[in-house]
Structure 1
Amino acid sequence: MENAIPQNTLLGNKKGHYYLKAFLIPAIIAIVLFLPFIIMDKGYFLYYGDFNVQQIPFYQMIHDSIQNGNFGWSNTTDLGADIVGSYSFYMIASPFFWLTMLFPSPAVPHLMGPLYVLKFACCSLSAFVYLKRYVKNKDYAVIGGILYAFSGFGVYNIFFNHFHEAMITFPLLLAAVDEIMYTGRKGVLVITAFLSCTINYYFFAGQAVFAILYWLVKLACGDFEFTFKKLIQIIFEAVLGFAASAFIFLPTLATITENPRISNSPSGWSALLYGWEQRYMHIIESFFFPPDLPARPNFTPDSNAKWASVAAYLPMFSMVGVFSFMKLRKKKYKWLKYLLPMLFLCALVPILNSAFQLFNASYYARWYYMLTLVMVLATILCLDSERANFKYGLNFTFGITVGIAAAIGLMPKTEKVNGIETTTYGLMEYPERFWIYVAFALIGLVLTTIVLYLWKNKNKNFMRVTSILLSIFCAGYSLYIVGTGKDQGQYKSDFIISDVIDGGSRLELDDIKDVRSDFYDCMDNMGMFWQIPTIQAFQSVVPGSIMDFYESVGVERSVASRPEADYYGLRSFLSCKYLFNYNGKFRNVVTKETKMPYWTYLNKQNNFDVYTNDCYIPYGFTYDEYITEKQYEQCSESNRHLLLLKAMVLTDEQAEKYSDILTKAKNIYKYEYTEEEYKKDCENRNKLTCTDTKFDNGGFTSHITTKDSDELVFFSVPYTKGWTAYVNGKQTDIEKVNVGFMAVRVPANTRCEIRFDYKTPNFTLGLGVTGACVVVFIAYMLIPTKLKKKKEGKHALSEDNIETDEIDISSYANSEVEENIPQEIEKEPENSSQDKNNESDLE
């Protein structure tokens, strides 16, 4: 039966207009969302937390690096890191990042807001591409795209700028799977798998798991027709698309396999049940309410999921469409009726949840955008079916929403404060914000009731009213969340703009880019903003040698390097010459004592106090003694930062190899670890050092003049694959010493030029694999294939799909019955070209 709601209520009903609507409407909503904040912050979009301290400096720093011709080693990322390996998770292959290459460096921070507008529009458009296959009225797919783009997941993860790329590629991946199984069209899965893995390997892993589950469920339910040919095709295309990403994936693999965070698998009871009871409520409420702010949990303060992206709210509609769909008696979409409960179960069982991140036990719900998309599909399928019982969905959703609000908002809580027992009401962390969230959820349900009344009565204004109300709601609740998030920021916008983003150019220190700097009690990633080497860094993906080193000295290094002032010896060991402090807390106003010994106040620059390290040791210094790794481990962890200035740490093999130029330390138990000894050790290390160490696009060069013996020269640059060393033009061995750094042997009585060249590991191999895949893909596409004639709309839910009798659904899906094609689709003339007959749903 033809759907009674007209399709010409927005921008027209021509096929191209639907794509235009799916892009422009969310773009306008996003402009309404971001423009006020851009105006408020003088042309910048600033948020709080990770967005400010990671996304902005990462974009600008790597943008500048690439424009300057450096694709290899970043000396301004932590102690040093591979650009491809460390930034492929963030943005190195994002098309949105590459758009910034059209602009000069100062413009990049200004582009963050406009790029977000483009991302939200693309999220909606890609969702439309997937959803439109399933509905007769394509305006419902447009609504679905808006729901997906401005879902709780989409708005929550404004905090994480790089998550929206995954939201864009995922619907295209599912659409490609459908295209193969329904039409046999070649190539689309290769392209989408390639894009997904290239843009972000982490999210691709989850998407691949979901796509396999999706395929199996649809196959088991009879929606996909199984043939051996299609099985081979889908496996071949998926593998080819994945392999084609080798130029990004293989260098990334070389970096991430060194990271200890990946070897954390679920086990025991923690694989079956979450150890935090509030997390279950957090998961459930995320489907009914706008998302909590990252790092500011409100509904469930102790669910231990501050940055986990637990967000799946569909704006305005909430779970109404999902519950209504589950109640709908139909056979055509029974696959979705099975898939949804399976996904909800995955959300509630830790080991199943971890399957979407290759069974890593760290809790994240960063696959919820996938669940969100199928929830959107269920919602628009109900809109496209005249027999949907929305009353059931409304009542059920309203009841659960009110129930959760009452349970959390009114639950009495008795506590003892100063020995006095007091009772308060409400379990939330921020009561005012909580009730505003409740209001948004309930207002959304009221608006949904209004539009569904129009839908039930087949009102010709239904689509227009729904689009307007949904757009207003999306903009309103998103504005509140982003505005609230901005208020959580520790640092004011004026400071970030003037002293952070624009501050690096005002520094007057001639050697600032040739030495490392420290930042005491400052905003994260100041060194990246100013593009100077530093020991402070908030970046999750760095060489494993950095992880190993910090662990060995007792400094926690999970997602950031933040050695505290107690580890003052690390500053000299890591060639840290300058220290910046904004709030004046590094030095006692009265006693003039600094938080670390032997630092002298220099001056004030860029509103920061600048200090110099009196015990500074340049890159490339030498030792007289060595200790073995076993001896190093015998030393107290708290003293190792000072021990590293006394003797070089070698393996047993290295100790034997270099015993002719280094003496083994006799008894490390006699070492003293006082501040005076620290200064003396730094003076000893300064007796023979390199001069004029300079980093460039290919690595770094240094010089040293040796005396009457060979020397093993140490550089506090992370040891990774990809380095090649030359001494006076002759290639030499690189030794991994001092738990993760590099050293080379230089001859006696010589003015030595030491050159370290860096090439991204596996990049050449990856390019070769990618090139081979391109050749295979071209050959594959040139093989002629007869495709099924496209029947747009044949998968749409209609009256014939309702389970009223024993219809053979599989024969229905494959039938060529003309009445199953929506009347608004023009029939192709008999002499139409093969290109038109083969027109793809991925136009």
Structure 2
Amino acid sequence: MSKSFVLPNPAKSQEKYGFVFGIAFAVIMVVLLPLMIMDKGLFIYFGDFVSQQLMFYFHANEVVHNGGLLGWDWGTDLGSSFIGSYAFYLTGSPFFWLSCILPKTLVLYAIPWLLALKHAVAAVTAYAYIRRFVQNKDAAVIGALLYSFSGFQIYNIFFNHFQDVTAFFPLMLLAMEECVNNNRRGWFAASVALMAIINYFFFAGQVVFLILYFFVRVNCRDFRIDMKKLAALGMEAVIGVAIAGVVLAPAAMAVMSNSRVSQMLFGKDMVLYGDKTRIVRIIQSFFMIPDAPSRPNLFDSDYGKWSSIGGYLPLFSMAGVITFMGQKKRHWATLLIWICIACAMIPFLNSAFYMFNGSYYARWFYMPLLIMAMMTARALDDKTMKWKTGVAASVGVLIVLLLISFLPTKDKQDNTEFFKFASNYPYFLIELGVTLLGWIGLYFLYSRRKAGKPIFKQAVWLTTAACVACTMTMVYFGKYIGKDGKEYFEKGLNGINNIGISYENDDDDYFRLDISKNRDNYPMFWSLSCMRCFQSVVDPSIMDFYSSIGITRDVASRAELSSYTLRGLFSVKYYFDEIKENMKDLDLPGFVYDHDEVGYKVYRNEYFIPMGFTYDTYVLDEDMKDEKNEVKERSLIKSLVLDEKQAAKYKDIITDADGEHPNTKEEYLAECEKHQAECCEGFDYDSKHFATKITLDQPKLVFFSVPYESGWSATVNGKPVEIEKVSYGFMAIRCEAGENQIHFGYELPGLKLGFFVTLGGIALFVLYMLCSKKLFSVKYGTQTKFYDYAPVSGIRAARAYTDYLSQAYQPKAAAQPDEPEAAETEPTEVPAAEEKGDDQTDGTSE
């Protein structure tokens, strides 16, 4: 058995952090620069990247510069708290805050550079972690690149904000190792706080993975845990979460009522995937370049199309992982990966990474992929590792996938077809071809290693080339199927400076837009509010509203034109209809053609109702439950929806509709005219308030199509009034006869609680750091690396180990590994530790 050695630090040599940073940064830029040149400095990809990510960066930059970080965001859907909506996407990201240095007109040009920076940081943090277990620095560089450009990473360029998480995740594992093995106090707390702030959704999965990691490491001899260190880990975890409270508390209050959070698995769905392609898609994604988001290729499916299924390691595929697991069966990393495989295959266990949510995601795969990257680097550096089985198994899976692609299929006319099994056969062949090129490179390295020749310089550059090729394959295909850059400029970005409609130039202080299909979020570029919005995390009242009237609202608000009542209810003044060939006139009651602008026909609502208008009648929520969704929707323009308690409370100023509902477009327009006659004058608003006035002949309830939230408070003529939640999710207040000065103030729910929790966390952190030595008898170590194998790369580590033992434990001497076949050598930087017996192996669990 190989002897584990934890060595005294010889003359310290320079680590390769700068090198791995530069390589990773360059890989992304080599891939993106041609596309950036094509699109005048921008990176215009496809799907969510161009429908969400670019808009969100632009809009969030504008909100932050306008001082709206902690307030209400009028530009997202019908309105939501900014932190509540964007804590999942941006607000905790260090990269986002770096972009806020720039004005909004330049922020989109920074996106590709930030992508490169994210990958570079991911490579650096992965290198720091992997170096703890891998002797050769070049092998650690390779492992870092495999993590930074894994199938998960290149898939999720589509979801730009996922890269924020993967960039820093290795620090959590590194900090745990430092806390346990070197008594480093505070690092783990800082890493927990950082990851919780960056993204609460991913943080939930990280908690689960860290628990698994701890339990598989706890019996390892290089994981020197005791009760004091366990207590320290526990305290630092709590302190880290507390420090993040200022972000977590508001975000939690914003999302816990989201219907997507409350979905759970039951019955057979807990143990079997309903999608019969899911497991084979997972397996495929680890052995070849993954399919593009929303485009399952070889195993086509309508489910899990955006679930981030990807795990391929460039050049090496799963060869190194299989090699390691086959020959290190009792190693902690092998056990951890087996557990992760079980979690991936069993729905209930998979959902544990998302607080047992029923929606399927594979967005936790980056965590075991870091371990897999380490295993591959270790297998490459360990002279005892035999790669034949790993290579054969990986090639075998690839051959099986190729054979599957030849299976015959039936077309719609029941004719037999060949070479149609894959949805996009040419792209499948490209994926396969690039993967096979990787195998040629791996065979070259395998041959050199078998012949006793140096491999690491060649391996680094081949890995780099493979990262470029794999990333290019995914990104260029996405660009091919995505939006044309010229069209994106003309119909989206061009409006930033050239749109004529604005709140400053219009007769009305505030209004909303609506826009054509497939142009989600474009109005964010124009700084205009829009009822059509592609944003997964919006105010829960919006979700409640659409659900109540039978309109699906999962990731976006996309009411059809047939739901014309909503345009009046939401104070929509303009409709932007994308100009296309053979287009028909807009069929939307009350809207008339006004002018052409930035690639759209603009229609103006002649029956526009300003924000804040009155109702004379109501319908009971209970009575409407049995009505058709169409009736529910159309009644909203005539009557407020109240519960029984509200109806009794305001019976002196509003009457029962007695079953009368608008049934025709003419009746709808007549109701709009009534509201126009009794509505608010002016509308002053910002992220902290809105104010208006209305003059009434008699007391009435005044309705605002602003989502109800506990953070709102209201006064009328300076006196506090109660805000009622009406019409399935909006706000109304009582106003009296005469002139009413209305003021609504907004305070982010959970902010005060989160602020004090954060203050408490910081105070605890300071106290903890001051008392650590006394509480935990801390004596800081310097054991930064733990190796339990003889490297291919050289024998200086072994000689250092021998010298150390001969000096410290004479006459005892250590067995020295055989002379290596390779000539590449380097000093090993590992400080001294307690003596271990010959039968001990650092990485082996008992």
TM-score by length of 1: 0.91
2:827 to 824, 828, 831: 824
Q: In the TM superposition, what is the alpha-carbon distance from 1:106 to its structure 2 partner?
A: 0.3
Q: Is 2:238 aligned against 1:208? A: no
Q: In the TM superposition, what is the alpha-carbon distance from 1:788 to its structure 2 partner?
A: 4.9
CA contact (8 A) 2:384 2:790 kept: no
For 1:272-283, what aligned pairs fall within 5 Å after superposition? 272-283=271-282
Q: In the TM superposition, what is the alpha-carbon distance from 1:336 to its structure 2 partner?
A: 1.3
Q: In the TM superposition, what is the alpha-carbon distance from 1:614 to its structure 2 partner?
A: 2.1
Match for 1:824: what amino acid? Answer: P
Q: Distance in 1 between matches of 2:661 and 2:726?
A: 20
Secondary structure, counterpart of 2:677 in structure 1? coil
CA distance 1:585–1:569, shift in 2 (3 Å): farther
CA contact (8 A) 1:623 1:712 kept: yes
Q: Distance in 2 between matches of 1:177 and 1:816?
A: 30
CA distance 1:97–1:16, shift in 2 (3 Å): farther
Q: In the TM superposition, what is the alpha-carbon distance from 1:42 to its structure 2 partner?
A: 0.3
Q: Which residue does the alignment assign to 2:548?
A: 552
Q: Which residue does the alignment assign to 1:438?
A: 432
Q: In the TM superposition, what is the alpha-carbon distance from 1:598 to its structure 2 partner?
A: 2.1
CA distance 1:584–1:640, shift in 2 (3 Å): farther
Q: Is 2:725 aligned against 1:725? A: no
Q: Is 2:561 aligned against 1:568? A: no
Q: Which residue does the alignment assign to 2:648?
A: 656
Q: Which residue does the alignment assign to 1:767?
A: 755
Structure 1 runs (4+) deviating above 6 angstroms are 815-823, 826-830
1:502 to 455, 474, 494: 494
Q: Is 2:448 aligned against 1:454? A: yes
For 1:178-197, what aligned pairs fall within 5 Å after superposition? 178-197=177-196
Q: In the TM superposition, what is the alpha-carbon distance from 1:454 to its structure 2 partner?
A: 2.5
Q: Is 2:33 aligned against 1:35? A: yes
CA distance 1:412–1:584, shift in 2 (3 Å): closer
CA contact (8 A) 2:721 2:733 kept: yes
Q: Distance in 1 between matches of 2:471 and 2:829?
A: 40
Q: Deviations over 1:166-213 (max 9, x none)?
A: 112221111111112212211111000000000000001101100000
Q: Distance in 1 between matches of 2:136 and 2:829?
A: 14
Match for 1:710: what amino acid? Answer: P
CA distance 1:186–1:531, shift in 2 (3 Å): same
Q: Which residue does the alignment assign to 1:234?
A: 233
Match for 2:604: what amino acid? Answer: T
CA distance 1:522–1:166, shift in 2 (3 Å): closer
1:781 to 769, 780, 785: 769
For 1:135-214, what aligned pairs fall within 5 Å after superposition? 135-214=134-213
What is the total number of aligned residue pairs between the two structures? 794
Match for 1:422: what amino acid? Answer: T
Q: Deviations over 1:627-679 (max 9, x none)?
A: 1111222332112221011111111111111111111222x1x4341111111
Q: Distance in 2 between matches of 1:263 and 1:112?
A: 33
1:338 to 331, 335, 339: 335
Secondary structure, counterpart of 1:634 in structure 2? coil
Secondary structure, counterpart of 2:537 in structure 1? coil
Q: Distance in 1 between matches of 2:653 and 2:600?
A: 44
Q: Deviations over 1:483-510 (max 9, x none)?
A: 1101112x32112123312314322232
Higher RCO (C-alpha under 8 Å, 6+ residues apart): 2
Match for 2:80: what amino acid? Answer: A
Q: Is 2:372 aligned against 1:375? A: yes
Q: Deviations over 1:416-440 (max 9, x none)?
A: 543x532424521111111111111
CA distance 1:665–1:38, shift in 2 (3 Å): same
Match for 1:603: what amino acid? Answer: H
Q: Is 2:628 aligned against 1:636? A: yes
Q: Is 2:382 aligned against 1:396? A: no
1:715 to 704, 708, 712: 704
2:475 to 465, 477, 482: 482
Q: Which residue does the alignment assign to 1:354?
A: 351
TM-score by length of 2: 0.90
Q: In the TM superposition, what is the alpha-carbon distance from 1:477 to its structure 2 partner?
A: 2.0
Q: Percent identity among equivalent residues?
A: 37
CA distance 1:719–1:329, shift in 2 (3 Å): closer
Q: Deviations over 1:68-93 (max 9, x none)?
A: 11121110100001001110000111
For 1:256-267, what aligned pairs fall within 5 Å after superposition? 256-267=255-266
Q: In the TM superposition, what is the alpha-carbon distance from 1:827 to its structure 2 partner?
A: 8.6
Long gaps (5+) in structure 1: 4-12, 801-811, 831-843
Secondary structure, counterpart of 1:133 in structure 2? coil
Q: In the TM superposition, what is the alpha-carbon distance from 1:275 to its structure 2 partner?
A: 1.3
Q: In the TM superposition, what is the alpha-carbon distance from 1:828 to its structure 2 partner?
A: 8.0
CA distance 1:612–1:543, shift in 2 (3 Å): same
Q: Which residue does the alignment assign to 1:58?
A: 56
Secondary structure, counterpart of 1:610 in structure 2? strand
Secondary structure, counterpart of 1:186 in structure 2? coil
CA distance 1:514–1:329, shift in 2 (3 Å): closer
CA contact (8 A) 1:584 1:609 kept: no
Q: Distance in 1 between matches of 2:582 and 2:713?
A: 40
Long gaps (5+) in structure 2: 5-10, 793-803, 817-824, 834-846
CA contact (8 A) 1:625 1:648 kept: yes
Match for 1:133: what amino acid? Answer: R
Q: In the TM superposition, what is the alpha-carbon distance from 1:520 to its structure 2 partner?
A: 2.3
* Higher alpha-carbon deviation: 513-522 or 137-146: 513-522
CA distance 1:684–1:20, shift in 2 (3 Å): same
Q: In the TM superposition, what is the alpha-carbon distance from 1:383 to its structure 2 partner?
A: 1.6
CA contact (8 A) 2:408 2:416 kept: no
Q: Which residue does the alignment assign to 1:689?
A: 679
CA distance 1:767–1:819, shift in 2 (3 Å): farther
CA contact (8 A) 1:527 1:536 kept: no
Match for 1:114: what amino acid? Answer: W
Cα RMSD between the aligned structures? 2.5
Q: Distance in 2 between matches of 1:161 and 1:527?
A: 20
CA contact (8 A) 2:381 2:791 kept: no
Q: In the TM superposition, what is the alpha-carbon distance from 1:826 to its structure 2 partner?
A: 6.5
* Higher alpha-carbon deviation: 819-828 or 432-441: 819-828
CA contact (8 A) 1:277 1:303 kept: no
Q: Which residue does the alignment assign to 1:6?
A: none
CA contact (8 A) 1:416 1:422 kept: yes
Q: Which residue does the alignment assign to 2:456?
A: 463
Q: Deviations over 1:38-64 (max 9, x none)?
A: 111101011001001111111111111
Q: Distance in 2 between matches of 1:744 and 1:726?
A: 9
Q: In the TM superposition, what is the alpha-carbon distance from 1:400 to its structure 2 partner?
A: 1.5
Q: Which residue does the alignment assign to 1:47?
A: 45
Secondary structure, counterpart of 2:67 in structure 1? coil
CA distance 1:622–1:826, shift in 2 (3 Å): closer
Q: Is 2:742 aligned against 1:754? A: yes
Secondary structure, counterpart of 1:121 in structure 2? helix
Q: Is 2:284 aligned against 1:294? A: no
Q: Distance in 2 between matches of 1:741 and 1:535?
A: 14
